[in-house]
Structure 1
Amino acid sequence: MADVSDTIVRRKLSHEVFDRLKTLITSGELGPGDAMPSERDLMERFGVGRPAIREAMQALANIGLITITHGERARVQQLSARSLFQQVDLSAQILLSASPDSLEHLKQARRFFERGMAREAAQRATAEDIKRLRDILDQQAKAVNEPKQFIGLDMRFHTQIAAISGNPIFEAVSESMLSWLRQYYTEMLTWSGRENVTLVEHEQIIDHIANHDPDGAEAIMVKHLDRSSALFTRQG
Protein backbone atom coordinates (compact mmCIF):
# COMPACT_ATOMS: atom_id res chain seq x y z
CA MET A 1 0.00 0.00 0.00
CA ALA A 2 1.44 3.36 -1.02
CA ASP A 3 2.30 5.87 1.68
CA VAL A 4 0.05 8.95 1.75
CA SER A 5 3.08 11.14 1.11
CA ASP A 6 3.62 9.34 -2.23
CA THR A 7 0.21 10.33 -3.54
CA ILE A 8 0.35 12.56 -6.61
CA VAL A 9 -2.17 15.37 -6.45
CA ARG A 10 -3.31 16.71 -9.79
CA ARG A 11 -3.36 20.50 -9.74
CA LYS A 12 -5.71 22.78 -11.61
CA LEU A 13 -4.19 24.35 -14.70
CA SER A 14 -4.89 27.81 -13.29
CA HIS A 15 -2.73 26.99 -10.25
CA GLU A 16 0.19 26.10 -12.51
CA VAL A 17 -0.31 29.28 -14.52
CA PHE A 18 -0.50 31.29 -11.29
CA ASP A 19 2.85 29.90 -10.10
CA ARG A 20 4.54 30.67 -13.41
CA LEU A 21 3.17 34.20 -13.59
CA LYS A 22 4.13 34.83 -9.98
CA THR A 23 7.68 33.71 -10.78
CA LEU A 24 7.85 36.21 -13.65
CA ILE A 25 7.15 38.94 -11.09
CA THR A 26 9.17 37.72 -8.10
CA SER A 27 12.20 36.97 -10.31
CA GLY A 28 12.22 40.53 -11.59
CA GLU A 29 11.49 39.61 -15.20
CA LEU A 30 8.43 41.82 -14.84
CA GLY A 31 8.71 44.84 -12.54
CA PRO A 32 6.31 47.38 -11.01
CA GLY A 33 4.40 49.21 -13.71
CA ASP A 34 5.17 46.68 -16.43
CA ALA A 35 2.27 45.37 -18.50
CA MET A 36 1.52 41.68 -18.21
CA PRO A 37 1.60 39.65 -21.46
CA SER A 38 -1.72 39.50 -23.27
CA GLU A 39 -4.11 36.63 -22.66
CA ARG A 40 -3.42 35.31 -26.16
CA ASP A 41 0.36 35.41 -25.61
CA LEU A 42 0.00 33.57 -22.30
CA MET A 43 -2.32 30.97 -23.82
CA GLU A 44 0.29 30.22 -26.50
CA ARG A 45 3.19 30.32 -24.08
CA PHE A 46 1.67 27.91 -21.56
CA GLY A 47 -0.53 25.88 -23.88
CA VAL A 48 -3.68 26.43 -21.86
CA GLY A 49 -7.11 27.93 -22.46
CA ARG A 50 -8.40 31.39 -21.66
CA PRO A 51 -10.31 30.37 -18.47
CA ALA A 52 -7.09 29.13 -16.78
CA ILE A 53 -5.30 32.38 -17.69
CA ARG A 54 -8.13 34.57 -16.40
CA GLU A 55 -8.46 32.61 -13.16
CA ALA A 56 -4.71 32.86 -12.52
CA MET A 57 -4.66 36.58 -13.29
CA GLN A 58 -7.55 37.21 -10.92
CA ALA A 59 -5.73 35.28 -8.20
CA LEU A 60 -2.68 37.51 -8.71
CA ALA A 61 -4.89 40.58 -8.46
CA ASN A 62 -6.49 39.27 -5.27
CA ILE A 63 -3.13 39.21 -3.50
CA GLY A 64 -2.10 42.62 -4.83
CA LEU A 65 0.59 41.53 -7.30
CA ILE A 66 -1.18 43.01 -10.33
CA THR A 67 -3.96 45.46 -11.10
CA ILE A 68 -6.62 44.61 -13.65
CA THR A 69 -8.37 47.44 -15.49
CA HIS A 70 -11.17 46.79 -17.97
CA GLY A 71 -10.04 47.38 -21.53
CA GLU A 72 -6.34 47.58 -20.66
CA ARG A 73 -3.50 45.15 -20.06
CA ALA A 74 -3.02 44.11 -16.46
CA ARG A 75 0.02 45.70 -14.82
CA VAL A 76 2.43 44.64 -12.11
CA GLN A 77 1.67 46.41 -8.85
CA GLN A 78 4.25 48.17 -6.68
CA LEU A 79 4.07 46.23 -3.43
CA SER A 80 4.19 48.14 -0.17
CA ALA A 81 3.26 47.63 3.45
CA ARG A 82 0.08 49.61 2.78
CA SER A 83 -0.99 47.45 -0.18
CA LEU A 84 -0.24 44.33 1.86
CA PHE A 85 -2.64 45.33 4.65
CA GLN A 86 -5.26 46.52 2.19
CA GLN A 87 -5.54 42.93 1.00
CA VAL A 88 -7.08 41.94 4.35
CA ASP A 89 -9.44 44.91 4.72
CA LEU A 90 -12.55 43.01 3.68
CA SER A 91 -11.69 39.99 5.83
CA ALA A 92 -11.07 42.25 8.84
CA GLN A 93 -14.43 43.98 8.38
CA ILE A 94 -16.22 40.63 8.16
CA LEU A 95 -14.44 39.40 11.28
CA LEU A 96 -15.42 42.54 13.19
CA SER A 97 -19.02 42.20 12.08
CA ALA A 98 -19.29 38.49 12.83
CA SER A 99 -17.51 38.30 16.18
CA PRO A 100 -18.85 40.32 19.14
CA ASP A 101 -15.45 40.21 20.87
CA SER A 102 -13.38 41.33 17.89
CA LEU A 103 -14.08 45.04 18.26
CA GLU A 104 -12.87 45.02 21.87
CA HIS A 105 -9.81 43.01 20.85
CA LEU A 106 -9.04 45.56 18.14
CA LYS A 107 -9.35 48.47 20.56
CA GLN A 108 -6.99 46.70 22.98
CA ALA A 109 -4.51 46.04 20.17
CA ARG A 110 -4.65 49.69 19.14
CA ARG A 111 -4.01 50.83 22.72
CA PHE A 112 -0.95 48.57 23.00
CA PHE A 113 0.33 49.66 19.58
CA GLU A 114 -0.19 53.41 19.96
CA ARG A 115 1.44 53.71 23.35
CA GLY A 116 4.56 52.24 21.76
CA MET A 117 4.30 54.58 18.79
CA ALA A 118 4.04 57.57 21.13
CA ARG A 119 7.24 56.52 22.90
CA GLU A 120 9.03 55.94 19.60
CA ALA A 121 7.90 59.31 18.25
CA ALA A 122 9.14 61.09 21.39
CA GLN A 123 12.55 59.53 20.89
CA ARG A 124 12.86 60.17 17.15
CA ALA A 125 10.79 63.25 16.26
CA THR A 126 12.44 66.04 14.31
CA ALA A 127 11.32 69.65 14.10
CA GLU A 128 9.70 68.81 10.75
CA ASP A 129 7.76 65.93 12.33
CA ILE A 130 6.43 68.26 15.02
CA LYS A 131 5.41 70.79 12.38
CA ARG A 132 3.43 68.12 10.51
CA LEU A 133 1.58 67.17 13.69
CA ARG A 134 0.78 70.79 14.53
CA ASP A 135 -0.43 71.41 10.97
CA ILE A 136 -2.85 68.48 11.29
CA LEU A 137 -4.01 69.78 14.67
CA ASP A 138 -4.63 73.24 13.19
CA GLN A 139 -6.73 71.72 10.40
CA GLN A 140 -8.64 69.63 12.93
CA ALA A 141 -9.40 72.70 15.05
CA LYS A 142 -10.95 74.35 12.00
CA ALA A 143 -13.12 71.28 11.36
CA VAL A 144 -14.92 71.07 14.73
CA ASN A 145 -18.26 71.60 13.01
CA GLU A 146 -17.54 69.05 10.27
CA PRO A 147 -17.70 65.61 11.96
CA LYS A 148 -16.49 63.50 9.02
CA GLN A 149 -13.56 65.81 8.33
CA PHE A 150 -12.77 66.05 12.04
CA ILE A 151 -12.69 62.26 12.41
CA GLY A 152 -10.55 61.89 9.27
CA LEU A 153 -8.01 64.36 10.63
CA ASP A 154 -8.09 62.62 14.02
CA MET A 155 -7.07 59.38 12.36
CA ARG A 156 -4.48 61.11 10.21
CA PHE A 157 -2.95 62.57 13.39
CA HIS A 158 -2.44 59.12 14.89
CA THR A 159 -1.07 57.65 11.66
CA GLN A 160 1.39 60.54 11.41
CA ILE A 161 2.71 59.67 14.87
CA ALA A 162 3.32 56.11 13.67
CA ALA A 163 5.06 57.48 10.57
CA ILE A 164 7.65 59.23 12.76
CA SER A 165 9.08 55.77 13.49
CA GLY A 166 10.39 55.67 9.94
CA ASN A 167 8.97 52.16 9.62
CA PRO A 168 6.38 51.89 6.81
CA ILE A 169 4.92 48.74 8.39
CA PHE A 170 4.04 50.66 11.57
CA GLU A 171 2.41 53.39 9.48
CA ALA A 172 0.42 50.83 7.49
CA VAL A 173 -0.70 49.02 10.65
CA SER A 174 -1.92 52.30 12.13
CA GLU A 175 -3.79 53.24 8.98
CA SER A 176 -5.42 49.83 8.71
CA MET A 177 -6.53 49.56 12.33
CA LEU A 178 -8.05 53.03 12.19
CA SER A 179 -9.88 52.30 8.94
CA TRP A 180 -11.33 49.12 10.47
CA LEU A 181 -12.41 51.04 13.56
CA ARG A 182 -13.96 53.91 11.65
CA GLN A 183 -17.18 52.03 10.83
CA TYR A 184 -17.85 51.85 14.58
CA TYR A 185 -17.37 55.56 15.30
CA THR A 186 -20.53 56.87 16.96
CA GLU A 187 -22.13 60.26 17.18
CA MET A 188 -20.81 60.58 20.74
CA LEU A 189 -17.98 62.61 19.25
CA THR A 190 -20.36 65.46 18.55
CA TRP A 191 -21.46 65.78 22.14
CA SER A 192 -20.78 69.28 23.45
CA GLY A 193 -17.15 69.78 24.41
CA ARG A 194 -15.80 66.44 23.23
CA GLU A 195 -14.15 67.94 20.18
CA ASN A 196 -12.29 70.42 22.35
CA VAL A 197 -11.15 67.68 24.74
CA THR A 198 -9.72 65.76 21.78
CA LEU A 199 -7.89 68.86 20.57
CA VAL A 200 -6.43 69.54 24.02
CA GLU A 201 -5.23 65.95 24.36
CA HIS A 202 -3.69 66.02 20.90
CA GLU A 203 -1.88 69.23 21.84
CA GLN A 204 -0.54 67.57 25.00
CA ILE A 205 0.65 64.56 23.02
CA ILE A 206 2.51 66.84 20.60
CA ASP A 207 4.12 68.76 23.48
CA HIS A 208 5.49 65.57 25.08
CA ILE A 209 6.77 64.33 21.72
CA ALA A 210 8.40 67.71 21.00
CA ASN A 211 10.06 67.63 24.44
CA HIS A 212 11.37 64.12 23.74
CA ASP A 213 9.52 62.78 26.78
CA PRO A 214 8.60 59.13 26.07
CA ASP A 215 6.99 58.51 29.47
CA GLY A 216 4.83 61.61 29.23
CA ALA A 217 3.87 60.92 25.61
CA GLU A 218 2.86 57.36 26.49
CA ALA A 219 0.87 58.42 29.55
CA ILE A 220 -1.20 61.05 27.75
CA MET A 221 -1.71 58.74 24.77
CA VAL A 222 -3.11 56.01 27.06
CA LYS A 223 -5.36 58.56 28.77
CA HIS A 224 -6.55 59.83 25.39
CA LEU A 225 -7.29 56.35 24.02
CA ASP A 226 -9.02 55.16 27.19
CA ARG A 227 -11.32 58.19 27.08
CA SER A 228 -12.07 57.88 23.37
CA SER A 229 -12.48 54.09 23.44
CA ALA A 230 -16.18 54.47 24.22
CA LEU A 231 -16.63 56.32 20.91
CA PHE A 232 -16.22 53.01 19.06
CA THR A 233 -19.26 50.82 19.71
CA ARG A 234 -21.09 48.01 17.98
CA GLN A 235 -24.52 49.03 16.78
CA GLY A 236 -27.37 46.60 17.37
Structure 2
Amino acid sequence: MVQPSEPIVRRKLSTEVYERLKAMITTGELRPGDQMPSERELMERFGVGRPAIREAMQALGGMGLLAISHGERARVLSLTPRSLFGQVDRAAEIMLTTSPGALDHLKEARIFFERGIVRQAAERAGPADVAALGALLAEQRAALGDPDRFIRTDMRFHARIAAVPGNPIFEAVAESMLGWLRQYHNELLIWSGKENVTLLEHEEILQCIADRDPAAAEASMVRHLERSRELYRHQGA
Protein backbone atom coordinates (compact mmCIF):
# COMPACT_ATOMS: atom_id res chain seq x y z
CA MET A 1 0.00 0.00 0.00
CA VAL A 2 1.38 3.36 -1.00
CA GLN A 3 1.77 5.73 1.93
CA PRO A 4 0.53 9.32 1.63
CA SER A 5 3.15 11.71 0.36
CA GLU A 6 5.02 13.53 3.11
CA PRO A 7 7.40 15.86 1.29
CA ILE A 8 10.30 17.28 3.26
CA VAL A 9 10.12 21.04 3.20
CA ARG A 10 13.48 22.69 2.88
CA ARG A 11 13.72 25.69 5.20
CA LYS A 12 15.80 28.83 4.74
CA LEU A 13 19.20 28.75 6.40
CA SER A 14 18.26 31.82 8.47
CA THR A 15 15.23 29.94 9.81
CA GLU A 16 17.42 27.06 10.94
CA VAL A 17 19.86 29.48 12.55
CA TYR A 18 16.99 31.30 14.25
CA GLU A 19 15.71 28.04 15.77
CA ARG A 20 19.16 27.13 17.05
CA LEU A 21 19.84 30.54 18.53
CA LYS A 22 16.42 30.55 20.17
CA ALA A 23 17.16 27.12 21.65
CA MET A 24 20.41 28.47 23.10
CA ILE A 25 18.31 31.04 24.97
CA THR A 26 15.36 28.88 25.98
CA THR A 27 17.55 26.03 27.28
CA GLY A 28 19.59 28.39 29.42
CA GLU A 29 22.84 28.05 27.48
CA LEU A 30 22.59 31.82 27.16
CA ARG A 31 20.91 33.77 29.96
CA PRO A 32 19.54 37.33 30.19
CA GLY A 33 22.45 39.74 30.22
CA ASP A 34 24.82 37.39 28.38
CA GLN A 35 26.45 38.46 25.14
CA MET A 36 25.78 36.40 22.06
CA PRO A 37 28.78 34.75 20.37
CA SER A 38 30.30 36.85 17.60
CA GLU A 39 29.00 36.54 14.05
CA ARG A 40 32.22 34.78 13.06
CA GLU A 41 31.86 32.25 15.89
CA LEU A 42 28.29 31.50 14.90
CA MET A 43 29.21 31.20 11.23
CA GLU A 44 31.82 28.59 12.10
CA ARG A 45 29.57 26.79 14.55
CA PHE A 46 26.63 26.44 12.15
CA GLY A 47 28.52 26.39 8.86
CA VAL A 48 26.53 29.22 7.30
CA GLY A 49 27.25 32.66 5.92
CA ARG A 50 26.93 36.05 7.56
CA PRO A 51 23.54 36.97 5.98
CA ALA A 52 21.81 33.95 7.58
CA ILE A 53 23.27 34.87 10.99
CA ARG A 54 22.21 38.50 10.72
CA GLU A 55 18.71 37.69 9.51
CA ALA A 56 18.20 35.26 12.41
CA MET A 57 19.56 37.77 14.92
CA GLN A 58 17.25 40.49 13.60
CA ALA A 59 14.27 38.14 13.98
CA LEU A 60 15.22 37.50 17.62
CA GLY A 61 15.68 41.22 18.15
CA GLY A 62 12.21 41.84 16.74
CA MET A 63 10.81 39.43 19.32
CA GLY A 64 12.47 41.35 22.13
CA LEU A 65 14.87 38.49 22.93
CA LEU A 66 18.02 40.36 21.88
CA ALA A 67 19.30 43.90 22.18
CA ILE A 68 21.27 44.70 19.02
CA SER A 69 23.58 47.72 18.96
CA HIS A 70 25.88 48.77 16.14
CA GLY A 71 29.48 47.89 16.85
CA GLU A 72 28.67 45.72 19.87
CA ARG A 73 27.72 42.11 20.37
CA ALA A 74 24.02 41.41 20.75
CA ARG A 75 22.91 40.87 24.33
CA VAL A 76 20.22 38.49 25.57
CA LEU A 77 17.22 40.23 27.12
CA SER A 78 14.80 39.05 29.77
CA LEU A 79 11.37 38.68 28.18
CA THR A 80 8.77 40.33 30.41
CA PRO A 81 5.05 40.98 29.94
CA ARG A 82 5.84 44.64 29.31
CA SER A 83 8.44 43.90 26.62
CA LEU A 84 6.19 41.23 25.11
CA PHE A 85 3.23 43.57 24.62
CA GLY A 86 5.57 46.32 23.51
CA GLN A 87 6.42 44.21 20.46
CA VAL A 88 2.89 44.70 19.08
CA ASP A 89 2.76 48.48 19.53
CA ARG A 90 3.52 49.28 15.88
CA ALA A 91 1.14 46.63 14.60
CA ALA A 92 -1.60 47.97 16.90
CA GLU A 93 -0.99 51.49 15.61
CA ILE A 94 -1.44 50.32 12.01
CA MET A 95 -4.58 48.35 12.91
CA LEU A 96 -6.15 51.34 14.65
CA THR A 97 -5.30 53.61 11.73
CA THR A 98 -6.53 51.35 8.94
CA SER A 99 -9.43 49.45 10.49
CA PRO A 100 -12.54 51.64 10.90
CA GLY A 101 -14.01 49.73 13.85
CA ALA A 102 -10.78 48.95 15.70
CA LEU A 103 -10.84 52.02 17.93
CA ASP A 104 -14.37 51.26 19.13
CA HIS A 105 -13.37 47.65 19.75
CA LEU A 106 -10.36 48.82 21.78
CA LYS A 107 -12.49 51.15 23.90
CA GLU A 108 -14.97 48.33 24.55
CA ALA A 109 -12.14 45.95 25.45
CA ARG A 110 -10.71 48.51 27.85
CA ILE A 111 -14.00 48.76 29.73
CA PHE A 112 -14.29 44.97 29.93
CA PHE A 113 -10.71 44.72 31.20
CA GLU A 114 -10.70 47.59 33.70
CA ARG A 115 -14.00 46.70 35.34
CA GLY A 116 -12.49 43.37 36.38
CA ILE A 117 -9.16 44.92 37.38
CA VAL A 118 -10.73 47.51 39.66
CA ARG A 119 -12.69 44.80 41.47
CA GLN A 120 -9.45 43.02 42.29
CA ALA A 121 -7.84 46.32 43.24
CA ALA A 122 -10.64 46.98 45.74
CA GLU A 123 -10.18 43.50 47.21
CA ARG A 124 -6.38 43.65 47.48
CA ALA A 125 -5.29 47.28 47.81
CA GLY A 126 -3.16 48.07 50.84
CA PRO A 127 -2.44 51.46 52.43
CA ALA A 128 0.56 52.00 50.14
CA ASP A 129 -1.59 51.43 47.04
CA VAL A 130 -4.26 53.84 48.24
CA ALA A 131 -1.59 56.44 49.06
CA ALA A 132 0.04 56.06 45.64
CA LEU A 133 -3.29 56.50 43.86
CA GLY A 134 -4.06 59.50 46.04
CA ALA A 135 -0.72 61.08 45.10
CA LEU A 136 -1.49 60.59 41.40
CA LEU A 137 -4.90 62.16 41.88
CA ALA A 138 -3.29 65.18 43.55
CA GLU A 139 -0.80 65.41 40.69
CA GLN A 140 -3.62 65.32 38.17
CA ARG A 141 -5.48 68.05 40.04
CA ALA A 142 -2.34 70.17 39.91
CA ALA A 143 -2.18 69.60 36.14
CA LEU A 144 -5.45 71.44 35.45
CA GLY A 145 -4.77 73.81 32.58
CA ASP A 146 -2.02 71.60 31.15
CA PRO A 147 -3.84 69.09 28.89
CA ASP A 148 -0.84 66.93 28.01
CA ARG A 149 0.25 66.52 31.64
CA PHE A 150 -3.36 66.02 32.76
CA ILE A 151 -3.90 63.18 30.28
CA ARG A 152 -0.55 61.53 31.04
CA THR A 153 -1.36 61.55 34.76
CA ASP A 154 -4.85 60.24 34.02
CA MET A 155 -3.32 57.22 32.29
CA ARG A 156 -0.80 56.68 35.09
CA PHE A 157 -3.73 56.58 37.54
CA HIS A 158 -5.41 53.80 35.56
CA ALA A 159 -2.12 51.92 35.09
CA ARG A 160 -1.47 52.11 38.84
CA ILE A 161 -4.87 50.53 39.54
CA ALA A 162 -3.90 47.69 37.19
CA ALA A 163 -0.70 47.20 39.21
CA VAL A 164 -2.55 46.68 42.52
CA PRO A 165 -3.44 42.96 42.02
CA GLY A 166 0.26 42.18 41.59
CA ASN A 167 -0.09 40.44 38.22
CA PRO A 168 2.49 41.89 35.78
CA ILE A 169 0.40 40.82 32.79
CA PHE A 170 -2.50 42.99 33.99
CA GLU A 171 -0.16 45.97 34.30
CA ALA A 172 1.43 45.38 30.88
CA VAL A 173 -1.93 45.01 29.14
CA ALA A 174 -3.23 48.19 30.77
CA GLU A 175 -0.15 50.20 29.80
CA SER A 176 -0.34 48.94 26.21
CA MET A 177 -4.04 49.72 25.77
CA LEU A 178 -3.63 53.17 27.31
CA GLY A 179 -0.67 53.86 25.05
CA TRP A 180 -2.61 52.82 21.96
CA LEU A 181 -5.51 55.07 22.97
CA ARG A 182 -3.35 58.08 23.81
CA GLN A 183 -2.95 59.28 20.23
CA TYR A 184 -6.73 59.40 19.81
CA HIS A 185 -7.47 61.56 22.85
CA ASN A 186 -9.21 64.72 21.69
CA GLU A 187 -7.56 67.36 23.88
CA LEU A 188 -9.99 70.05 22.72
CA LEU A 189 -12.69 68.38 24.79
CA ILE A 190 -10.62 69.00 27.93
CA TRP A 191 -11.69 72.63 27.86
CA SER A 192 -15.42 71.94 28.17
CA GLY A 193 -15.29 71.27 31.92
CA LYS A 194 -14.79 67.54 31.54
CA GLU A 195 -11.43 67.67 33.32
CA ASN A 196 -13.21 68.42 36.61
CA VAL A 197 -15.69 65.61 35.96
CA THR A 198 -12.73 63.26 35.43
CA LEU A 199 -11.23 64.28 38.77
CA LEU A 200 -14.52 63.70 40.59
CA GLU A 201 -14.88 60.27 38.97
CA HIS A 202 -11.32 59.33 39.89
CA GLU A 203 -11.96 60.43 43.48
CA GLU A 204 -15.03 58.19 43.59
CA ILE A 205 -13.11 55.22 42.19
CA LEU A 206 -10.32 55.75 44.70
CA GLN A 207 -12.77 55.98 47.58
CA CYS A 208 -14.39 52.69 46.55
CA ILE A 209 -10.96 51.05 46.45
CA ALA A 210 -10.08 52.49 49.87
CA ASP A 211 -13.42 51.24 51.23
CA ARG A 212 -12.64 47.76 49.82
CA ASP A 213 -15.97 47.71 47.98
CA PRO A 214 -15.46 45.76 44.70
CA ALA A 215 -19.03 46.17 43.41
CA ALA A 216 -19.05 49.93 43.93
CA ALA A 217 -15.57 50.23 42.43
CA GLU A 218 -16.66 48.37 39.32
CA ALA A 219 -19.81 50.47 38.93
CA SER A 220 -17.79 53.68 39.32
CA MET A 221 -15.20 52.57 36.80
CA VAL A 222 -17.81 51.59 34.21
CA ARG A 223 -19.58 54.96 34.56
CA HIS A 224 -16.27 56.76 34.20
CA LEU A 225 -15.12 54.84 31.11
CA GLU A 226 -18.53 54.92 29.40
CA ARG A 227 -18.63 58.68 29.87
CA SER A 228 -15.05 59.28 28.77
CA ARG A 229 -14.98 56.91 25.78
CA GLU A 230 -16.13 59.77 23.53
CA LEU A 231 -12.89 61.62 24.32
CA TYR A 232 -11.06 59.15 22.07
CA ARG A 233 -11.71 59.77 18.39
CA HIS A 234 -9.97 59.60 15.04
CA GLN A 235 -8.79 62.97 13.77
CA GLY A 236 -11.62 64.75 12.00
CA ALA A 237 -14.26 62.41 13.44
User: Which amino acid in 1 is paired with 2:36?
Assistant: M
Q: How far did 1:195 drift?
A: 1.2
Q: Give the match for residue 170 of structure 1.
A: 170
1:71 and 2:75 aligned: no
Q: How far did 1:192 drift?
A: 3.4
In structure 2, distance between residues paired with 1:195 and 1:7: 64
User: Which amino acid in 2 is paired with 1:164?
Assistant: V
In structure 1, distance between residues paired with 2:89 and 2:140: 26
Q: How far did 1:2 drift?
A: 6.7
Q: How far did 1:70 drift?
A: 1.1
1:118 and 2:121 aligned: no
- The structure 1 segments of at least 4 consecutive aligned residues displaced by more than 4 Å after TM superposition are none
Q: Give the match for residue 190 of structure 1.
A: 190
The size of the alignment, in residue pairs, is 235
User: Which amino acid in 2 is paired with 1:94?
Assistant: I
Q: Give the match for residue 57 of structure 1.
A: 57
In structure 1, distance between residues paired with 2:214 and 2:109: 19
In structure 1, distance between residues paired with 2:139 and 2:210: 19
CA displacement, residues 89-141 of structure 1 (integer Å, 9 cap, x when unaligned): 11111111111111000000000111111111000000000001001111111
Listed as ranges, the matches of 1:36-115 within 5 Å are: 36-115=36-115
CA displacement, residues 70-89 of structure 1 (integer Å, 9 cap, x when unaligned): 11111001110001101111
In structure 1, distance between residues paired with 2:92 and 2:187: 23
- Structure 1 contact 32–76 (Cα < 8 Å) conserved: yes
TM-score normalised by length of structure 2: 0.96
- Structure 1 contact 125–210 (Cα < 8 Å) conserved: yes
1:9 and 2:12 aligned: no
- Structure 1 contact 188–231 (Cα < 8 Å) conserved: no
For structure 2, list consecutive stretches of 5 or more residues without a partner in the other structure. Answer: none
In structure 1, distance between residues paired with 2:70 and 2:125: 44
In structure 2, distance between residues paired with 1:71 and 1:202: 48
- Structure 1 contact 139–153 (Cα < 8 Å) conserved: yes
CA displacement, residues 127-161 of structure 1 (integer Å, 9 cap, x when unaligned): 00000100111111111121111111101100110
1:132 and 2:123 aligned: no
User: Which amino acid in 2 is paired with 1:173?
Assistant: V
SS at match of 2:192: coil
- Structure 1 contact 95–102 (Cα < 8 Å) conserved: yes
For structure 1, list consecutive stretches of 5 or more residues without a partner in the other structure. Answer: none
Q: How far did 1:191 drift?
A: 1.7
Q: Identity, % of aligned pairs?
A: 62
TM-score normalised by length of structure 1: 0.97
Q: Give the match for residue 199 of structure 1.
A: 199
Question: Considering only aligned residues, what root-mean-square deviation do their CA atoms show, in Å?
Answer: 1.1
Q: Give the match for residue 222 of structure 1.
A: 222
Q: Give the match for residue 18 of structure 2.
A: 18
User: Which amino acid in 1 is paired with 2:95?
Assistant: L
- Structure 1 contact 14–55 (Cα < 8 Å) conserved: yes
In structure 1, distance between residues paired with 2:140 and 2:59: 40
In structure 2, distance between residues paired with 1:69 and 1:139: 37
SS at match of 2:106: helix
